[in-house]
Structure 1
Amino acid sequence: MKKLTSSALAYLITLFMTSAFAAAPAPAKISYNVTFPEAQAHYAEVEMNITGLAQPSLEVKMPVWAPGSYLVREFAKNIESLSANTKGKAIAASKINKNTWKINTTGISSVTVKYKVYAFELSVRTSFIDASHAFLSTTGIFLYPKGMVSSPSTIHISPYKDWNKVSTSLETVNGDTFTRTAPNFDILYDSPLEIGTQDVFDFDVDGTHYEVAMYGGGNYDKERLKVDMAKVVRAEVAVFGENPNKHYTFIVHNKQRNGGGLEHLSSTVLGASREQYSSPGGYRGFLSLVAHEHFHLWNVKRLRPIALGPFDYDNENYTTNLWIAEGFTAYYQNLILRHADISNQQDYLGDMTGDINTVENQPGTRVQPLSESSFDAWIKGYRPNENSYNTGISYYDKGAVVGMLLDLEIINDSNGKFSLDDVMKYMYDTYYKGKKRGYTDAEFKAGFEKFAGKKLDDFYAKYINGLDAIDYNKYLNYAGYKLVDNLADTQEPSLGVFTNSRKIITTVLRDGAGWVDGLNVNDEITAIDDTPVTDMAAILKGKKVGDKVNVTVNRDGQRFVIPVTLQRNNNVKYSINEIEGANAKQLAVRKKWLKL
């Protein structure tokens, strides 16, 4: 082969690069028009326009789940009347699986896809439309072209009647509130939209602008919320050392009874009861929810398990680390209120005791390890049945408890130099900012060990991957506290069942009296020892542990009398009490932990 001169070689390289770039097709452009001609009937109509196509076929897809809510919800079930056309001429759009439509685009450069979406489930993770407003949870509204998740898109909204506001973290186009843009579909699917006449107020915290959109009314005090929500924000920024957002949106749905929240990269959706703001407990509960979801903008939206990004929108995204992503966030939601001086020491210890009582009173905590609870969220966590109380444990509740244990361990072992805050900041800086990826289980364990100054193999074996009973007092003693069971000396007899107001059994507790002797879920208890049941507690109050009683039940329309031997009610009711004469180190740990 003849050797080329350097000038000839340079010419060929330039020619090749020019040809390659010339051959590369321009990226397709994607836009949506959303209208609400039948808002009163809970429908949105979506027109998806794609131009610049240069491919023989196009597949458009609907996500099957919403990030942050670990359940396949099959959003495509709400799509109706999907059709496709090019320049007004109809073309075939064939559904090829549960969430995908295929369109023949041979020789076609532009396609318009039209479809209707039914939306009548007002939750933080699903869409709802009526004549008063539209809440668009974007994973259930917008199809995406397969292979184009990284493509930008524009969304234009035609409001219904008097709707005059859009609340979302998506940027406007030319200042038009009804036209928004997303740099890619991960951002679009992480940016819900509230459209209507919602009450909006805002505040700023150290250069970050916050918008709060209130739908549904309520007895909230906007000026008070501005002050206290800003306190929450500052306390959380102090953990991570920065606020990665320039603007952030709270969407709050106030209903007669409501709760829950779902985090997003630069926004969140909260469920609240419209009258809860006037009571101290209700108000603090709302701020706790604010703290939880806002903390997620770091923990899980940026600092995340490696399985949670890039997202697979077609399938489950399994991880054993939701006890960190969600459980630690549940731990911080109340600790932040203490650090922000919104709640006092006793408020916080009461909140923590509530988590401990929840974990210890649930039989499933002795059946399902914490890491398995995380992994099984997709198949168990959001699909509870009548026996779930006996077979599983929440990675929120037990994760919060484990967060407390690790926080106290790190503070104690470092002589007050470090806390769990330092672990969270280190992991955020190292993996989100530095490595620009999620963390593995082993990497987060190494982060704990870095600041505890020792291996935590035994801790993981017992409390993360195992089923050992938690030695609460070992950790609480570090801060001069002890855990006391206020029911330890009681001998209250129990049937070992939970019932509803109609005395129908909803849960039979594992190894309890009803479990052993054959009471069933859905049995209606009508009598005990021939005494009609109007007040079951009063009837049992006259009995003793070990007594045998005849329980009459209506089971599927038939009468059964079931002998049951009463057992002791094994429920615990803990409180966290101060140890008299706590030493200087214990008091120092307490001060560091609670920022007293």
Structure 2
Amino acid sequence: MKTFLGAAMVSLFSLTAFAQNEISYTVSFPNAIHHEAEISMYIPNVPAGTLKVRMSRSSPGRYATHEFGKNVYHLKAFDGTGKPLTVNQSAGDVYEIPGHGNSVKITYTLFGNWIDGTYAGFDETHAHMNIPATFAFPLGMDNRARTVKFNYAGNQNWKVATQLKPQADGSYFAPNLQYFMDSPIEIADYKTASWQVKNTDGKMQTIHLVSHANDDQQTIDNYTTMLKKMVDEHLAVWGEFPTYDYGHYYFLHDVYPDNAGDGMEHRNSTSIVQRTPKIAGYESNLLGTFSHEYFHSWNVERLRPKTLEPFNFEHANMSNELWLAEGFTQYYGNLLLTRAGLKTEDNAIQTFNGLVNAVLLSPGALNFSPIEASRYAVFADAGVAIDQTNKANIFTSYYTYGAATALALDLRLRAEFKLTLDDYMRALWKAYGKPEIAYTVPDLEKTLASLTKDQSFAASFFKKYIYGTEKNDYAKLLLNAGLVLRKASPGKAFTGFGRLTVQNGRVILPQTLIGTPAYQAGLDVDDVLLTIDGTAIKDLETVNAVTDAHQPGDVLNITYLYRGVEKSTKLTLAENPALELISIEKTGGTLTAAMQNFKTSWLGTQVKSKTTN
């Protein structure tokens, strides 16, 4: 009894000390109609010396920097008695309070009018908050717990939805800064539906659809039925659910045509912002984001690259592994909707066709590796720049590049080892995801070698296709499933002009791509086409007509304006390189039983075969 009481006293002391160090926020919306929120932060037990408070410059789920501090103003500080304190703004998003007592209260106004997964938005219909865009935080206190309360008395129908833990006093709790920053919040008159899932350990968890949309409850319920099918296919890949903190997972769904649009994964929730009038009538189009983001609750949130640990809120983490973290997720996001019967097989084939075209034809993939594409994310992932870049020639999205790599690995594992990419993902989950051990690229190679029992295969695959720029033989691999990869327009002339724009009768070039006839001819962005082969160019129809009248290998005389000066060049037409992926039957060939079985095991539902194991 003495020992028990002693332990209880120690536990009580620890909880008391924990509470005494807790950083608490209060948020109110007196001017929501003009997109403002009023935020206060109370910091107890402030250490001696200058207190530094800052806004984040990065956000979980994003890989570039964002200047969240630009929307903060009227920031003030007070001591425990309410006396104003001196605040020095040492950087755009950093504030220093040199003299203070034991406790400090910070207040500020935040403007937010951008509804997506990265920023914050306030109006009379809702408060949509990504935490790094909303809450300032003190430096050096990352391990302290956080609580937040919301005052929205004038909006009687509003309700709070978040993965933060609800408290008896109406506040919401996070154990530390990392968890707090990873917990988006939606406050609105939303509709919701939920269902329970049983994990392999027998414990029940609840998945919630929370939709702020112009739809009735029946639409939400019907959409939830579709999401259940999707979730079942995700479970079939991994073999078990993650253990969601507090037993809940939330789809925070915001639907309105003027939204910015986005999908942003978090540990026990995802923020999905979509730009349609409502859910009803658009269900199938909206599912892709749900599937991608839900896959992240395994891949990225728990199966996590070491380069993202810990997440840095002062600048972007540079990661080598986004080709797997985002790219493999992109591959599965679409594949699992097909397996669930929510997308057709033709939809899947069309998606694979886009992946193969991108990885085989884009300069970014031809000249840069998946790792290099991942590292460029610090500039590419919703990063903002006003100057032109050479992005089209040096970068292929790690989403696309990684998804194409996943496609090749899946097909090779099936053809060469009688394994699947599902097996590989489960092996990674067992080794690194479930125990939450951050991985490196060598760890990924090691797991592939262990799974296949073929060290040379794993070493070769990573050397050629992950560290290097070689490409898999997609035509050979896809033929195993009765899919033929071939030229989409054989013998058709190709200029490489890209997506031309027409302004007041002037046909203007975009940035031209390395290796195309237009690039080789010295044509570049903002050049204005004047004549092709002696024909005056005033519209896109004329460009197409002149091109179609020629064959690959023909040389065209072109005149154009470069910075207002007329110039001329010669362009040698090439054959259109675009590829198409079609079923073998459409080519006049025969779909063999082996091909059909291969395709069915790949694109067909896995729920029965996996969940009964």
Question: What TM-score does the superposition give when structure 1 sets the normalisation length?
Answer: 0.87
Looking at structure 2, the residues matched to 365 and 339 of structure 1 have their Cα atoms a distance apart, in angstroms, of 28
Counterpart of 1:459 (choices 461, 464, 467) is 461
Deviation at 1:481, TM superposition (A): 4.0
- Please state how far the C-alpha of 1:396 moved relative to its aligned partner: 0.7
CA shift in 2, pair 1:522/1:40, >3 Å: farther
Conserved? CA contact 1:408–1:589, under 8 Å: no
Residue 588 (structure 1) shift: 4.7
| Aligned counterpart, 2:177 | 185
Q: CA deviation at 1:72?
A: 0.8
Which residue of the partner structure matches residue 164 of structure 1? Answer: 158
- What's the offset of the Cα at 1:276? 7.9
Does residue 390 of the first structure (1) align with residue 384 of the second (2)? no
Is the Cα contact below 8 Å between 1:355 and 1:397 reproduced in 2?
A: yes
3-state SS of 1:396 partner? helix
* Counterpart among 496, 516, 519 of residue 515 in structure 1: 519
Specify the alignment match of 1:3 in structure 2: none
Mapped to 1, the partners of 2:520 and 2:209 lie a distance apart of 52
Work out whether residues 93 and 101 of structure 1, in 8 Å CA contact, stay in contact via their aligned partners in 2.
Answer: yes
User: How has the CA–CA distance of structure 1 residues 387 and 412 changed in structure 2, closer, same or farther, with 3 Å as cutoff?
Assistant: same
- Matched residue SS, 1:574: strand
2:207 pairs, out of 210, 213, 218, with: 210
- Preserved contact between residue 192 and residue 220 of structure 2 (Cα < 8 Å): no
Q: Distance in 1 between matches of 2:273 and 2:75?
A: 32
CA distance in 2 between counterparts of 1:38 and 1:550 reads 62
Which runs of 5 or more structure 2 residues have no equivalent in the other structure? Answer: 1-9, 199-203, 606-613
Q: Deviations over 1:456-485 (max 9, x none)?
A: 222112211112233113433444544223
Structure 1 range deviating more: 518-527 or 259-268: 518-527
Contact 2:27 2:40 in 1 (8 A): yes
After superposition, the Cα gap between the structure-2 partners of 1:511 and 1:361, relative to the gap in structure 1 and judged at 3 Å, is: closer
Q: Which runs of 5+ in 1 are unaligned?
A: 1-16
Structure 1 residue 227: Cα displacement: 0.8
Q: Tell me the equivalent position of 1:241.
A: 239
Q: Secondary structure of 2:160's match?
A: strand
Shift of 1:90: 0.8
Change (3 A) 1:547 1:414: closer
SS in 1 for 2:222: helix
Q: Which residue of 1 aligns with 2:474?
A: 472
Q: Please say which of residues 466-475 and 201-210 is displaced more in the overlay.
A: 201-210
Task: Report what 2:579 is aligned to.
Answer: 573
Whether the aligned pair in 2 keeps the contact of 1:493 and 1:566 (CA below 8 Å) is no
Shift of the alpha carbon at 1:266?
1.1
SS of structure 2 residue aligned to 1:379 = helix
Q: Is 1:403–2:400 an aligned residue pair?
A: no
1:80-229 pair list within 5 angstroms: 80-86=73-79, 87-104=81-98, 108-159=101-152, 161-162=154-155, 164-174=158-168, 176=170, 179-206=171-198, 207-217=204-214, 221-229=219-227
Q: Which residue of 1 aligns with 2:609?
A: none
Amino acid at match of 1:577: S
Cα distance per residue 1:491-542 (max 9 Å; x no partner): 2242533313533322212132322223221233355434242223234323
SS at the partner of 1:364?
helix
User: C-alpha distance in 1, partners of 2:381/2:508?
Assistant: 24
Higher alpha-carbon deviation: 307-316 or 206-215 = 206-215
Cα deviation, residue 439, structure 1: 0.6
Distance 1:531 1:58, change over 3 A: same
1:197/1:447 CA distance change after superposition, 3 Å: same
Residues 1:329 and 1:591: Cα distance change in structure 2 (over 3 Å) = same
Q: Give the direction of change, closer, same or farther, for the CA distance of 1:161–1:538 in structure 2 (3 Å limit).
A: farther
Q: Is 1:560 matched with 2:566?
A: yes
Q: Is the alpha carbon distance of 1:479 and 1:49 closer, same or farther for their aligned partners in structure 2, counting shifts above 3 Å? A: same
Give how far 1:561 is off: 4.3
What does 1:168-567 align with in structure 2 at a 5 Å threshold? 168-174=162-168, 176=170, 179-206=171-198, 207-217=204-214, 221-243=219-241, 244-245=243-244, 246-256=247-257, 259-275=261-277, 283-380=283-380, 382-383=382-383, 385=388, 387-415=390-418, 418-434=419-435, 436-455=436-455, 456-487=458-489, 489-502=490-503, 503-528=507-532, 529-534=534-539, 535=541, 536-556=543-563, 558=564, 560-567=566-573
Tell me, yes or no, if the aligned pair for 1:498 and 1:507 is still in contact at 8 Å: no
Distance in structure 1 (CA, Å) of the matches to 2:269 and 2:577: 39
CA displacement, residues 42-81 of structure 1 (integer Å, 9 cap, x when unaligned): 2211100112334333222222101111101121222212
Contact 1:480–1:582 under 8 Å retained in 2: yes
Deviation sequence 1:85-138 (CA, Å, 0-9, x none): 0121011122233433222355x2211001112212222211122233221110
Q: In structure 2, do the counterparts of structure 1 residues 229 and 175 end up closer, same or farther at CA, with 3 Å as the change threshold?
A: farther
Q: Tell me: CA distance 1:549–1:571, structure 2 relative to 1, closer, same or farther (3 Å).
A: same
**The 10-residue stretch of structure 1 (365-374 or 377-386) with the greater mean CA deviation from structure 2:** 377-386
- Aligned letter for 2:179? I
Aligned identity (percent) is 27
Distance in 2 (alpha carbons) for counterparts of 1:497 and 1:314: 38
Cα gap change, 1:160/1:498 in structure 2, threshold over 3 Å: closer, same or farther? farther
Compute the displacement of 1:577 (Å).
Answer: 3.0
Aligned match of 1:14: none
Whether the aligned pair in 1 keeps the contact of 2:78 and 2:106 (CA below 8 Å) is yes
CA distance in 1, matches of 2:590, 2:32: 65
Contact 2:427–2:447 at 8 Å: present in 1 too?
yes
Q: Is residue 56–residue 105 contact of structure 1 (8 Å, CA) maintained in 2?
A: yes
Q: CA deviation at 1:386?
A: 5.4
Distance across 2 between alignment mates of 1:569 and 1:118: 52
2:52 maps to which of 53, 59, 64: 59
User: What is the alpha-carbon distance in structure 2 between the residues aligned to residue 573 and residue 343 of structure 1?
Assistant: 22
Q: Distance in 2 between matches of 1:407 and 1:152?
A: 43
Distance 2:139 2:56 in 1: 11
- Aligned partner letter, 1:468: E
Which residue of the partner structure matches residue 6 of structure 1? none
Deviations 1:371-424 (A, max 9, x none): 111122113454584531211111111111111221222233333xx3222222
Alpha-carbon distance in structure 2 between the residues aligned to 1:445 and 1:25:
42
Distance 1:233 1:99 in 2: 40
Q: Please report how far the alpha carbon of residue 287 of structure 1 lies from its aligned counterpart in structure 2 after TM superposition.
A: 1.3
Contact 1:218-1:274 at 8 Å conserved across structures? no
Alpha-carbon contact 2:146-2:174 (below 8 Å) kept: yes
Amino acid at match of 2:231: V
1:218: how far off? 6.2
Q: What TM-score results when the alignment is normalised by the length of structure 2? A: 0.85
Q: Matched residues in 2 for 1:548 and 1:588: separation?
A: 48
- RMSD over equivalenced CA pairs, Å: 2.9
The Cα of 1:327 is off from its aligned counterpart by 0.5
When residues 410 and 88 of structure 1 are mapped into structure 2, their CA distance, relative to the original with a 3 A threshold, is same
* SS class of match (1:271): strand
Inter-partner Cα distance in structure 2 for 1:386 and 1:538: 32
Q: 1:95 to 1:364 in 2, by over 3 A?
A: same
On the 8 A contact 2:255/2:278 being kept in 1, the answer is no
CA distance in 1, matches of 2:422, 2:553: 49
